[in-house]
Amino acid sequence: QGIIEKSKVKGIPIIIDAVSIFFISVSGLTFKNLFSKCSYYIFQDGLWLISQQPSLIQGYQRAILTPNYMEFSRLYEAMLRDPVDSSDHHGCVLRLSQAMGNLTVVQKGERDLISDGEKVLVCSHEGSSRRCGGQGDLLSGSLGVLAHWAFVAGAEKTNGQNPFLVAAFGACSLTRQSNHQAFQKFGRSMTASDMVSEVGTAFNKLFET
Ligand SMILES: *[C@@H]1O[C@H](CO)[C@@H](O)[C@H](O)[C@H]1NC(C)=O
């Protein structure tokens, strides 16, 4: 918790999912050196912590939350004192982002829903039917790298869009593309590290054509 406060003072981007909190504080960050260069903490449950003490992160627009549907529902109920409206997923993601003070929320699922309190983006880039353990870490990690890049590049490079929203969309697409490529090669025996091996080519395919 002390680390969160310090990062906020320094304006450091933070990525929070159920098992980890990333603090993105270095220059020259790439996919290869991600885990050696970033501060990466395994929390018992980062999202649980936030649902208990939302004020830790509320209003800090350089934070990105990446809950799955279950974690999202729990956080939503804690923040809005209302159950999730299952007929309006978009609206729920938007409202949770607003309730948290417009920080970026990525609801992971069959389709990823991303909101910054103003817009909702849907990422349904082709993946595969298989999700493996550790896929969430790949998403958080690539989100860390892309958020850092987008943030350093500034809004003129992201066409005036919120750089965190753009980064989140990119990271979701990248994770899905890596999943898709690894599934093509390994089928149902694919693991998260097979996906990580595909990140480089997935990145080229998506962003460097
Ligand atoms: C969040 O974004 C919405 C939509 O752009 C805006 O109306 C609202 O004032 C913002 N809230 C904060 C805390 O920035």
| Tokens encoding 121 | 């983006």
| CA distances (Å), origin 85, targets 45, 75, 81, 92 | 24, 13, 12, 7
Query: If you average pLDDT over every residue of the chain, what do you get?
Result: 84
Task: Assign 44 a pLDDT band (cuts: 50, 70, 90).
Answer: low
Query: In ligand 1, which atom is closest to the CA atom of 101?
Result: 13
* pLDDT at 52 (0 to 100): 86
Task: Assign 28 a pLDDT band (cuts: 50, 70, 90).
Answer: low
- Expressed in angstroms and rounded, the spacing between residue 166 Cα and the centre of ligand 1 is 18
Q: How far apart are CA 195 and CA 174, in angstroms?
A: 10
Report pLDDT digits (tens) over 5-26.
888 887 778 888 876 676 666 5
Report pLDDT digits (tens) over 87-106.
999 999 999 999 999 999 99
- Expressed in angstroms and rounded, the spacing between residue 48 Cα and the centre of ligand 1 is 24
C-beta of residue 135 within 8 angstroms of C-beta of residue 192: yes
* pLDDT at 40 (0 to 100): 56
Q: How far apart are CA 19 and CA 47, in angstroms?
A: 8
In the chain, domain spans: 1-123, 135-208
Q: Which residues contact 204 (CB under 8 A, 6 or more apart)?
A: none
